[in-house]
Amino acid sequence: MTPTEPKLISGNANTPLAERVARRMSMHRGRKVGLVDARVERFNDGEIFVEVFENVRGEDMFIIQPTSNPANDNLMELLIIADALRRSSAARITAVIPYFGYARQDRRSKARTPITAKLVANMIVEAGVERILTLDLHATQIQGFFDIPVDNLYASPIFALDVKHNFKNQMDEIMVVSPDVGGVARARDLAQRIGAPLSIVDKRRGKPGEVAEMTVIGDVKDRTCLIVDDIVDTAGTLCKAAEVLLEHGAKEVHAYITHGVLSGPAIERVNASVMKHLVITDTIEATKPVLATDKIRIVPTAPMFAQAILNTSNGTSVSSLFDHETLGPIYEGMYSS
């Protein structure tokens, strides 16, 4: 059967985001777009059970499910939902994974270690998923782990809109900073979009989770520094980088991080840090402590995901969303002067 209108189904990982995507698609369509009625629950022993209450035969299905904490439970929900849809004769199954967990295990860094990102990719494909839609993969080469199409969207166009709105009177003072050498390409992308110079904080780790030494490459004196990265986990490196930048003469420090994992002491560290603000997206559902702090601000990804889903379903370009000028009308009103 030929797919018609896209249909959305959500696991439990980030239902608020799925509902916002559905509302946004309703605006585009001029009629209500809701989530497919289903139950995703656990038995007493922790087994996950999925039941879809609507007919999905011949439908173009989109599963919205980040594999964030608890990563294993949310990954299993994604796999089981995909299997349920495949056995219900869905025409096509696309996994919308705003945050792709296990992406940091994308290579063998030591002897006798796994490449778990590849294993997860194999499981997703085997479950019946035919296309992936995600945001800011930790390592872009993970796209090659899949034998199906992968659309990796970028947060930098949204961040560019946010920066131009919130720093419009001091754009000449902006310095984009990569917190490590490996993230230079991501930081450079935002720097080019807003016409700002680029600096790098070179870090050397003592052991995992701890930073032994940091060196700033570039002149940040009297600059408003924006640290750009894809993941903030325990926030130790981020807060240390902010301190080092101020020690090197930066006027103030803000951070733009796509995925706010924010585990362990992260919230306490951010609150106590010298950073003015930490800006994250809503790819991972915000906890109460995240919502309670004034130092963390959340920018929405639902408008972009809604448009990407519609473009995918219609067979039109998704790469058009890489341009902040294209995203501007989608976010119209949110960043108006």
On whether 235 is known to bind a ligand per the annotation, the reply is yes
Beta carbons within 8 Å of 325's beta carbon, 6+ residues apart: none
Report the greatest alpha carbon distance in the chain. Answer: 63
Q: 126 exposed, middle or buried (CB, 10 Å; 0-12, 13-18, 19+)?
A: exposed
Length of the chain: 337
User: Distance between CA atoms of 249 and 232, rounded to whole angstroms?
Assistant: 24
45 marked among binding-site residues: yes
CA distance linking residue 152 with residue 32, whole number of Å: 27
- Residue 282, annotated as binding a ligand: no
Does 144 carry a binding-site annotation?
no
Helix, strand, coil content of the chain in percent (nearest 5) = 35, 25, 40
Name the catalytic one among 7, 203, 207, 251: 203
234 marked among binding-site residues: yes
The answer to the question of whether 141 is labelled as a binding residue is no
d(CA 103, CA 145): 11
Does residue 6 sit in helix, strand or coil? strand
Q: What is the DSSP letter of 84?
A: H
DSSP assignment, residue 195? T
Q: 142 Cβ partners below 8 Å, 6+ apart?
A: 100, 103, 106, 117, 121, 150
249 in a known ligand binding site: no
Amino acid making up residue 216? V
Q: How far is CA 159 from CA 6, 172, 271, 301, 324, in A?
A: 28, 17, 22, 11, 9
Q: Flag whether 108 is marked binding.
A: no
Q: Does 324 appear as a known binding residue?
A: no
| 104 marked ligand binding residue | yes
Rounded Cα distance, 55 and 46, in Å:
27
3-class secondary structure, 153 = strand
The question of whether 203 is a catalytic residue gets the answer: yes
105 belongs to an annotated ligand binding site: yes
Judge whether 229 is annotated as a binding position: yes
Q: CA-to-CA distance for 310 and 312, rounded, in angstroms?
A: 5
Question: Is 326 marked as binding a ligand?
Answer: no
Q: Which of 199, 263, 269 is CA-nearest to residue 228?
A: 199
Binding region? 45-47, 104-105, 138, 180, 205, 229, 233-237
Binding region for Mg(2+)? 138, 180
Positions marked active-site: 203
